[in-house]
Amino acid sequence: MKISILTVAFNSASTLVDTINSVRSQDYPHIEYIVVDGNSSDGTVEIIHAHASKIDRWISEPDQGIYDAMNKALKLATGEVIGILNSDDFYTDSTIVSKVAKEFVDPSVDVVFGDLVFVDPQNLSKVVRTYSAAHWYPKKLAWGFMPPHPAVFIRKKYYEQFGVFKTDYKIAADYELLIRFLYVHQLKYKYLPMKMVVMRKGGVSSRNWRSNIILNDEIMRGCRENGLYTNWLMVYSKYFRKWMELVN
């Protein structure tokens, strides 16, 4: 089974090498690695050139944002299963993709996901929060909770069947997509109780209070568009749970 790992990048020169090396250190032999860059100007393209032997397909051109870039990467992918690893994230160890692949041997499994940890960008060994999907189920999407997207793997046929990322979302198109796949179409999922991905704290969805407002507005919009009832109080109550996840 070929698994396509997709990375989209824009001005990611300071972190992209970690991501590339993380993918290519995986012990699973059937990985297709695709990088889509948004015409970076900070040396990202030079890094891609320098590591081209580790990348199966890549492009660098202007895009309409992160979800447009993800859709471009999906079009390039030829694997049966898709994983998306951001350009400042990396896998926790070299066995992650092989463990995921074992779960997809069961044809009834459509989606596999695990946990994610946030780390201090200045000290990658310092975990500041654990994002666990251990008790997640689809109706929690109405409460602002989704499986951590970089730790989610989905059979490619469902992108073809149910659609790709909506590019008129700024931050939460991945959230809306998971509502479609896991709530509306009820894809069968398997949770792996392990930390799969390391993410540097400070991503676009949590950069500041304005980003959080946009994120939550788009979460409510995604629920509305897919017939899942939610409201402002339900979505914002998630911050108490996030506070509980902080590592002291």
Number of domains present in the structure of the chain:
1
**pLDDT band for position 243 (cuts 50, 70, 90):** low
- Which domain range does residue 78 map to? 3-245
What residues pair up with 190 in beta bridges, in sequence order? 112
Report, as an integer, the average pLDDT of 86-113: 98
Question: Is the backbone of residue 138 left (phi > 0), alpha (psi -120 to 50) or beta?
Answer: alpha
Could you tell me what percent of the chain has a pLDDT over 70? 94
Mean pLDDT of the chain: 94
Q: How far is residue 9's CA from residue 3's CA, in Å, rounded to a whole number? A: 20
CA angle 75, 79, 84 (to 5 degrees): 70
CB 220 within 8 A of CB 177: no
At 197-219, the pLDDT tens digits run: 999 997 655 556 788 899 999 99
Q: In a 10 Å sphere around its CB, with 0-12 CB exposed, 13-18 middle and 19+ buried, how is residue 136 labelled?
A: middle
- Residue 155: phi and psi, rounded to 5, are -60, 135
CA angle 70, 72, 74 (to 5 degrees): 70
Q: How far is residue 198's CA from residue 220's CA, in Å, rounded to a whole number? A: 27
Spell 150-159 as b/e; 16+ CB within 10 A means b.
bbbbbbbebb
Which pLDDT does position 247 carry in this prediction? Answer: 45
Helix (H, G, I), strand (E, B) or coil at 151: helix
How many Å separate Cα 158 from the centre of its chain? 16
Residue 174, domain CATH: 3.90.550.10
